[in-house]
Amino acid sequence: MTTATAKAFPNIAFIKYWGNRENTLRLPMNGSISMNLDGLYTRTTVSFQNSLPFDELIINGHEIIGTGLNRVSYILDIVRGMVDIHEHAEIVSENNFPAGAGIASSASAFAALALAGSKAAGLDLSEPELSRLARRDLSEPELSRLARRGSGSASRSVPGGFVEWQGGTTNEDSFAYSIALAEHWKLMDCIAIVSASHKKTGSTEGHAIAPTSPLQAARVADTPRRLDLCRNAILNKDFDTFASIVELDSDMMHSVMMTSTPALHYWKPTSLAVMNAVRQWRSEGLPACYTVDAGANVHVICLEAESQIVNKRLREINGVEDVLVARAGGPAKIIVNGD
Ligand code: DP6
């Protein structure tokens, strides 16, 4: 039996991934940029055991079968193929934040799985001809590619800090890398929890219907411009430019969602109330901006110096149930002694 444990953070996209050019490999229509979220995490242990007839998946203490298990086995099958092992695995995973509510639990989940699964498989092999492959640490692009095949946004939770996923057109050139370390800019994400319930339409189904919106082609065509603006704003710590492009990008993605067939409306009335309040605060001089993933919760990005006031004001808005606060986080990591 060989075991490895890994921990990964979710991430919040500033320039969003929405729609695939190829669904099985999860090759996106456009590149994206995100920040890892420190303090929120998925911690996953993978143990390959020759006594197991199937992979067994336990998330937050509950056994998962069906689509969730198949998605995990698909990644472990790739790992098993890379090192030619046949054991099934027990996968035990925990999140410390609500899943399925626009906080990209699949990103941290598949980043942690790719890292723990590849490490566990690597240590397991002893055949001489395979030992080179077995002992090899998967380099960051390889891990990012592997995580991407489980969930696109997971490719961005492998490297640390501020991360760009170059969309690419093939399996080889579609991976993510850090554009700046977590310490580079003291940005905070204050996540206004508007609904902690599981969303009705997951991202995977959403990506599949993105091409039905007549707005998707325009959104995709304009992405290189938004990526440049966002990347430069991060590198130059230019909050004003950052705020405008992040809000525009989120609104563009939601416009595509709302005009897809069937239409996807993720915002709730409180989501809109938060977005309006944030715009108002910014016009009064408070550096803060919003972005919303495939859920109702609103991520309010601000500088660390203002995070307490933003947190306090968000809690005063009717319908905001809680506020989670996260600074920029590091890369996915192997956990050795507890942690
Ligand atoms: C709105 O990565 O969750 O959060 O690849 O099907 O798992 P799958 O989709 P996923 O999509 C993320 C969509 C988003 C935007 C983003 O994170 O870039």
Determine the distance separating the centroid of ligand 1 and the alpha carbon of 13, expressed in angstroms.
Answer: 9
Higher-confidence residue of 123 and 18: namely 18
Q: What percent of the chain has pLDDT over 70?
A: 91
Assess whether pLDDT exceeds 70 at residue 127: no
What letter represents residue 178's amino acid?
Answer: S
Determine the distance separating the centroid of ligand 1 and the alpha carbon of 278, expressed in angstroms.
Answer: 24
Structure confidence at residue 185 as a pLDDT band (50, 70, 90): very high
Q: Which of 157, 194, 124, 121 is nearest to 35 (CA)?
A: 157
Q: Which of 329, 331, 308, 312 is nearest to 320 (CA)?
A: 312
- The CB of 106 under 6 Å from ligand 1? The reply is yes
Substitution candidate for ligand 1 out of 198, 203, 260, 293 with most atoms within 8 A of CB: 203
Assess whether pLDDT exceeds 90 at residue 1: no
Q: Which of 300, 306, 309 is nearest to 279 (CA)?
A: 300
∠ CA 205-7-5, rounded to 5°: 110
DSSP 211: G
What letter represents residue 90's amino acid?
Answer: E
- The CB of 153 under 6 Å from ligand 1? The reply is yes
Longest dimension (CA), the chain: 66
- Stretch 93-118: mean pLDDT: 83
Determine the distance separating the centroid of ligand 1 and the alpha carbon of 277, expressed in angstroms.
Answer: 26
Assess whether pLDDT exceeds 60 at residue 13: yes
* Distance between CA atoms of residues 179 and 77, nearest Å: 31
- The CB of 246 under 6 Å from ligand 1? The reply is no
- Stretch 259-266: mean pLDDT: 97
- Please report the pLDDT score of residue 197 as a whole number: 72
133 close to 125: Cβ distance less than 8 angstroms: yes
219 close to 256: Cβ distance less than 8 angstroms: yes
Assess whether pLDDT exceeds 50 at residue 123: no
**What is the token pair recorded at 141?**
């692009």
pLDDT tens digit sequence for 140-164 = 688 999 999 999 999 999 999 999 9
Phi/psi for 185 (5° steps) reads -145, 130
- The CB of 117 under 6 Å from ligand 1? The reply is no
Where are any strands of DSSP class E within the chain?
2-8, 11-15, 20-22, 27-28, 32-36, 42-49, 56-59, 62-64, 88-95, 162-166, 175-180, 187-193, 288-291, 298-303, 322-327, 333-335
- The SS3 of residue 2 is strand
* Distance between CA atoms of residues 71 and 151, nearest Å: 9
- The CB of 299 under 6 Å from ligand 1? The reply is no
Of ligand 1's listed atoms, the one at least distance from the Cα of 107 is: 2
Q: Which residue has the tokens 């325009």?
A: 218
- Please report the pLDDT score of residue 216 as a whole number: 98
Substitution candidate for ligand 1 out of 153, 216, 266, 290 with most atoms within 8 A of CB: 153
Determine the distance separating the centroid of ligand 1 and the alpha carbon of 204, expressed in angstroms.
Answer: 7
Phi-psi region at 39: left, alpha or beta (left = phi > 0; alpha = psi -120 to 50): left
- Please report the pLDDT score of residue 99 as a whole number: 60
Torsion sign (Cα): 36, 259, 148, 73: positive
Residue 37: alpha-carbon gap to chain centroid: 9
Determine the distance separating the centroid of ligand 1 and the alpha carbon of 338, expressed in angstroms.
Answer: 30
- The CB of 16 under 6 Å from ligand 1? The reply is yes
Assess whether pLDDT exceeds 60 at residue 100: no
* Distance between CA atoms of residues 82 and 148, nearest Å: 16
- What residues form DSSP beta bridges with 72? none
DSSP 43-103: EEEEEEETT-SS-EEEETTEEE-THHHHHHHHHHHHHHHHHT---EEEEEEEESS-TTSSS
Pick from 88-102, 160-174, 206-220: least confident: 88-102
- The CB of 226 under 6 Å from ligand 1? The reply is no
Higher-confidence residue of 25 and 82: namely 25
- The CB of 203 under 6 Å from ligand 1? The reply is yes
To the nearest 10 degrees (0 to 180), the angle between helices 105-124 and 128-135 is: 150
pLDDT tens digit sequence for 41-71 = 999 999 999 999 999 999 999 999 999 999 9
Determine the distance separating the centroid of ligand 1 and the alpha carbon of 152, expressed in angstroms.
Answer: 6
Determine the distance separating the centroid of ligand 1 and the alpha carbon of 16, expressed in angstroms.
Answer: 8
- Please report the pLDDT score of residue 134 as a whole number: 42
To the nearest 10 degrees (0 to 180), the angle between helices 67-83 and 140-150 is: 150
pLDDT tens digit sequence for 231-251 = 999 999 999 999 999 999 999
Of ligand 1's listed atoms, the one at least distance from the Cα of 293 is: 1
How many Cβ atoms sit within 10 Å of the Cβ of residue 53?
Answer: 6
- The CB of 264 under 6 Å from ligand 1? The reply is no
- Please report the pLDDT score of residue 339 as a whole number: 61
- The CB of 295 under 6 Å from ligand 1? The reply is no
- The CB of 178 under 6 Å from ligand 1? The reply is no
